[in-house]
Chains A and B, each alone.
Chain A
């Protein structure tokens, strides 16, 4: 089937006027007030599926130098390619807060969203928050963690799931503790997960999972640990920033 050039041309023209129209109809927001710092209220470090909207919005607050919330300050949001921030510019509400819906890109990984605003002298100040997009493998890892590991490794209790952390004589680390986990190589991690604490001269309170989880699940768990670690994990031997 061949597209009729006339129709295509006219469509293109309509589309163009359409987009110009849209640009024109969204007047740039003007700040009504200024602050000196942006802080996170909630919604950072969420784990979401690839390409999906995060279940909680990102809520930020602009404060003045006294630490009081500022209403009407303008916040601009930028993110890496593929991340959709809705809205991308916003004025803080009566509580000095801005609520942004975040949709992550279709590629698994860590995404930094940057919020910026300007103080009374026009000097910009910014804040970066991280969000995580889980692909198939990280999703499996997340499920493994929820089912087997988090009760010991996550110190926070919920009504549905009480943490066992406080009961352990030797304390494990939350999987987000990058400074611990980033030092462990892939083989260290699979070693301790498969064979338990004693395999690495650690406590037997860390059980072996070799006969409970399969190799793919253990790999997935490691991918999950690498994804959520903070500071972020940098794989050795990969060339960064050259493209």
Chain B
């Protein structure tokens, strides 16, 4: 050891004594040190990609142009306002080269067409990952706290949703996912506050359970709780995986807790007397009333036919008590003030017919094996405990069980939840999307103590919901105000006065939109008074015949009294007007025959309207648009004229192509259409 030390010391001494040698060695060391930086660069991963790119473009037809566009070194997009420092283009070198669109492999492919420029938002806002990183691993796969891995392409639409709270044409998945969140009542338990401060609202209309014993039996409740889809394939209520005993106790509690409501069963006695109604007459009343516009039933082939605004009725006879059904059909809002179902104003005879028909839709197998012993007080108390534990009151009104507002975790920022905070199942991919998808698909797979129920979603629905959840990021709250595009919210419009009362009992807004509130199944009525003639409206309410033969959803007949009809017609003709022009600025009749003839020619040749509309029922066949055989007795001339000039201005979103018509052409066509009053195809022979 000692000798060793003296050896080193002596050699250093010799070295110091020889300045030339010292100079030589020091300079070699310094030179070597200087080359480290460039060498590190040269052997770095991104440099490898740049060399590979240069070789790759040599074989392309436009090699010269591509070479000219190429810039070596670290490339960076820097957007201080958004906190973007993205160096992705250091390796993704072809992103802006349109001619590289056919390249099938990354990283040299052109970016597919998108609605924003690359320099506007950079890469990471949509794709996630670490923009400032310069190795693939760090940029794409980091799971460290505060960092995120790349978002798989299938969820890409979620990124649009950070700014865009409104539905977009190019993001069908995101739109559908958001609809599911409210339609399946997810937001009843999980609150979701949007960046504009509003809360996402549920649209699932879960029925109140206040008077449930009037409506159905404990056996049915039991079977439904065990598996909602066994009763109706399209059930929106999820499955809570209840044990037989728990389902039995909950059903016992709900029945015991139900408050009888006078009138709910009043019709039973009247119903049970009288002759048995003719089933085929019931079926035709069901058809004429267009119940299928909102309610689906399974046909022989097992397919659901009908709308989904109301519950599926395939097995409804097994569920509802006959007396309750009659009372419900007479006045649905009495049982559930929030129901979207209209009050049909059926006569007693009709009520008997239709309820007997509906009651006949049964499935005896459903309850064949349900035998419940009378419930003990202990079971009822246990049932109540379960009802509280499972948060039933988050969706349903249940007397004595208060609604808790934040039953499940708040999901307003779930899309930014760090991977390190998630607990994964063995074998699961360690990413947030994979976690969310599994949680939606099989919530209880994470442990039997979890209370979240299981929905019966298809694989694409799971993708859609995951996409909608991934859009709820921290970033969406911190965006500059001009990038926060608010959701379209319903107004709180309510029709007023006597007409308002009638419209509320008819629930017109379940299907029609008026002044920014209501459904989208039927036309918007905000300007109906400018659009149609008074006499036509009155007749239509008396006997709604369809204008579009190809539609399966239709306006039902509500059996209004003469005075109800007059009130409604007057109200709509006066109140539902556009301010854009005067209803009566053009006459209903008296157009010169030459003008009508000119209109006829325009209709059939220049604009070829017959491809979608019928004026002469013997000649024309188009049936995408409404039939125009009697349009002169239906619409006002001024409405037709302005509509022809700009259809989307009067009916936003209509598919009628805007033909940019001159005033002269529009006037001639108006004259021709106003001549169509009786359905004989006046002036319409070709």
Residues of A at under 8 Å CB distance from B?
A: 1, 49-53, 55, 80-81, 105-109, 135-137, 139-140, 143-144, 147-148, 151-152, 159-160, 162, 164, 166-168, 203-205, 207-212, 216-217, 219-220, 223, 235, 237-240, 242-243
Q: Are A164 and B612 closer than 8 Å at their CB atoms?
A: yes
Q: Are A238 and B611 closer than 8 Å at their CB atoms?
A: no
Partner of B61, one of A80, A105, A204, A238: A238
Task: Count chain B CB atoms within 10 A of each CB in A205, A210, A243 and give the residue with the most.
Answer: A243
Closest residue on chain B to residue A167 by CB atoms: B621
* A159: B residues at CB distance < 8 A: 305, 552
Q: A212–B103 Cα gap in the complex (Å)?
A: 34
Q: Are B60 and A242 closer than 8 Å at their CB atoms?
A: yes
Q: Are B622 and A164 closer than 8 Å at their CB atoms?
A: yes
Q: Are B655 and A148 closer than 8 Å at their CB atoms?
A: yes
Residues of B at under 8 Å CB distance from A?
A: 56, 59-61, 99, 101-105, 109, 112-115, 144, 152-156, 169-173, 305, 458-460, 463, 550, 552, 605-608, 611-612, 621-624, 648, 655, 657-660
Partner of B622, one of A109, A167, A237: A167
- Contact A216 B624, CB 8 Å, known A52-B463, A207-B611, A210-B660: no
- Contact A208 B659, CB 8 Å, known A49-B154, A164-B611, A167-B621: yes
Interface CB pairs A-B, < 8 A, 7? A51-B156, A204-B605, A204-B607, A204-B608, A211-B660, A212-B658, A239-B61
- Contact A136 B114, CB 8 Å, known A1-B144, A143-B169, A204-B607: yes
Q: A144–B103 Cα gap in the complex (Å)?
A: 27
Q: Are A51 and B623 closer than 8 Å at their CB atoms?
A: no
Extra contacts, 16 of them, besides A52-B463, A166-B621 (Cβ < 8 A), are: A1-B144, A49-B463, A50-B153, A51-B154, A80-B104, A139-B172, A140-B170, A147-B655, A152-B611, A159-B552, A162-B550, A164-B612, A203-B608, A204-B605, A204-B608, A238-B61
Partner of B170, one of A136, A147, A152, A160: A136
Q: How far is the CB of A203 from chain B (nearest CB, A)?
A: 7
Q: A152–B659 Cα gap in the complex (Å)?
A: 18
- Contact A237 B112, CB 8 Å, known A53-B459, A106-B152: no
Q: Are B623 and A162 closer than 8 Å at their CB atoms?
A: yes
* A139: B residues at CB distance < 8 A: 170-172
Q: A151–B550 Cα gap in the complex (Å)?
A: 12
Q: A164–B607 Cα gap in the complex (Å)?
A: 17
- Contact A237 B115, CB 8 Å, known A1-B144, A109-B104, A203-B608: no
- Contact A137 B153, CB 8 Å, known A109-B104, A168-B611: no
* B113: A residues at CB distance < 8 A: 135-137, 219-220, 223
Task: Count chain A CB atoms within 10 A of each CB in B101, B112, B550 and give the residue with the most.
Answer: B112
5 closest A-B pairs by CB: A106-B153, A51-B153, A51-B154, A167-B621, A204-B608
Q: How far is the CB of B623 from chain A (nearest CB, A)?
A: 7
Partner of A140, one of B59, B169, B611, B655: B169
* A208: B residues at CB distance < 8 A: 657, 659-660
Q: A55–B658 Cα gap in the complex (Å)?
A: 35
* A243: B residues at CB distance < 8 A: 56, 59-60, 103
Q: Are B104 and A167 closer than 8 Å at their CB atoms?
A: no
**B interface, over-half SS:** loop
Q: A80–B102 Cα gap in the complex (Å)?
A: 14
Q: Are A51 and B152 closer than 8 Å at their CB atoms?
A: yes
Q: Are B172 and A209 closer than 8 Å at their CB atoms?
A: no
- Contact A207 B104, CB 8 Å, known A51-B153, A164-B612: no
Q: Are B152 and A205 closer than 8 Å at their CB atoms?
A: no
Closest residue on chain A to residue B548 by CB atoms: A162
Q: A237–B152 Cα gap in the complex (Å)?
A: 32
Q: Are B170 and A50 closer than 8 Å at their CB atoms?
A: no
* A205: B residues at CB distance < 8 A: 608, 611
- Contact A108 B112, CB 8 Å, known A168-B611, A203-B608: yes
Q: How far is the CB of B327 from chain A (nearest CB, A)?
A: 33
Q: How far is the CB of A85 from chain B (nearest CB, A)?
A: 16
Partner of A52, one of B59, B154, B607, B623: B154
Q: Are B59 and A242 closer than 8 Å at their CB atoms?
A: yes
Q: Are B61 and A237 closer than 8 Å at their CB atoms?
A: yes
* B605: A residues at CB distance < 8 A: 204
* A210: B residues at CB distance < 8 A: 660
* B458: A residues at CB distance < 8 A: 55
Q: How far is the CB of A127 from chain B (nearest CB, A)?
A: 22
Q: A217–B170 Cα gap in the complex (Å)?
A: 10
Q: Are B102 and A240 closer than 8 Å at their CB atoms?
A: yes
Partner of A167, one of B61, B154, B155, B623: B623
Q: Are A50 and B156 closer than 8 Å at their CB atoms?
A: yes
Q: Are A50 and B154 closer than 8 Å at their CB atoms?
A: yes
Q: How far is the CB of B582 from chain A (nearest CB, A)?
A: 25
Q: A107–B154 Cα gap in the complex (Å)?
A: 10
Q: A209–B578 Cα gap in the complex (Å)?
A: 26
Task: Count chain B CB atoms within 10 A of each CB in A107, A144, A152 and give the residue with the most.
Answer: A107
Q: Are B659 and A211 closer than 8 Å at their CB atoms?
A: yes
* A212: B residues at CB distance < 8 A: 648, 657-658
Q: How far is the CB of A146 from chain B (nearest CB, A)?
A: 10
Q: How far is the CB of B169 from chain A (nearest CB, A)?
A: 5
* B463: A residues at CB distance < 8 A: 49, 52-53
